[in-house]
């Protein structure tokens, strides 16, 4: 398996189509067809190739978390973590996420939202237990039903209490 790190702007049309197919196959969600309309040019992708076939992927974009009374934290927000169904449970997803974590030295913390909490816990991620909310210019939008928000402490991460309020800037199509 070969792991590579690329920016969104470096992905040609064939690679973008391969990423979209992989994400749809892995998650059975057609909305991944719109993935690249949501990503900035500097999105950071980790891709895994096996015998010249794309079998794993994850992407990081910059977002801004704010735990309780701390300042805003430059956050590596991880999305579109996908492994080809034919290659799941073979360590590809773990390898992609471990490689990705090693690329995050410029960030204060990493964050993602998942329904596979135990997978990420094995890789050192922690589920946030406190209340969650989105931030807008007008105030907070509580998200009490949100589950599976996880953080990964990085070398620059300040002291965090995962039982306190955690907020993130609201994006046009989502909060978390």
Mind listing the pLDDT tens digit for each residue in 10-42?
Answer: 999 999 999 999 999 999 999 999 999 999 999
* Percentage with pLDDT > 70 across the chain: 100
- State the pLDDT at residue 111: 98
**What are the tokens at 54?**
């794309």
Scanning the structure block, which residue is given the tokens 């076939």?
Answer: 53
Assign 119 to helix, strand or coil.
helix
The architecture CATH gives domain 2-169: 3-Layer(aba) Sandwich (3.40)
The answer to whether the beta carbons of residues 162 and 149 sit under 8 Å apart is no
- State the pLDDT at residue 10: 97
- State the pLDDT at residue 84: 98
Separation between Cα atoms, residue 153 and residue 111, nearest integer Å: 9
Assign 89 to helix, strand or coil.
coil
Model confidence at 69, pLDDT cuts 50, 70, 90, reads confident
The gap from C-alpha 29 to its chain's centroid, in whole angstroms, comes to 16
pTM listed for this prediction: 0.95
**What are the tokens at 29?**
């969600």
Domain assignments of the chain as residue spans, ordered by start: 2-169
- State the pLDDT at residue 48: 98
Q: Whole-number mean pLDDT of the chain?
A: 97
Give pLDDT tens digits for 140-151.
999 999 999 999
The answer to whether the beta carbons of residues 92 and 1 sit under 8 Å apart is yes
Scanning the structure block, which residue is given the tokens 């390898």?
Answer: 95
Give pLDDT tens digits for 114-157.
999 999 999 999 999 999 999 999 999 999 999 999 999 999 99
- State the pLDDT at residue 176: 95
């Amino acid at each position: 398996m070969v792991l590579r790190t690329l920016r969104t702007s470096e992905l040609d049309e064939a690679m973008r189509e391969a990423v979209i197919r992989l994400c749809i196959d892995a998650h059975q969600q057609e909305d991944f067809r719109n993935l690249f309309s949501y990503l900035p040019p500097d999105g950071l992708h980790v891709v895994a190739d096996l015998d010249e076939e794309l079998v794993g992927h994850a992407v990081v974009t910059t977002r801004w978390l704010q735990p309780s009374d701390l300042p805003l934290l430059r956050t590596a927000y991880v999305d579109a973590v996908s492994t080809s169904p034919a290659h799941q449970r073979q360590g590809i997803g773990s390898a992609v996420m471990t490689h990705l974590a090693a690329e995050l030295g410029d960030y204060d913390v990493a964050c993602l939202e998942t329904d596979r909490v135990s997978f990420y816990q094995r890789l050192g991620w922690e589920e946030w237990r406190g209340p969650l909310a989105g931030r807008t210019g007008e105030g907070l939008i509580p998200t009490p039903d949100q589950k599976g928000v996880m953080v990964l402490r990085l070398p620059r991460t300040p002291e965090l209490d995962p039982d306190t309020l955690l907020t993130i800037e609201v994006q046009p199509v989502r909060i978390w």
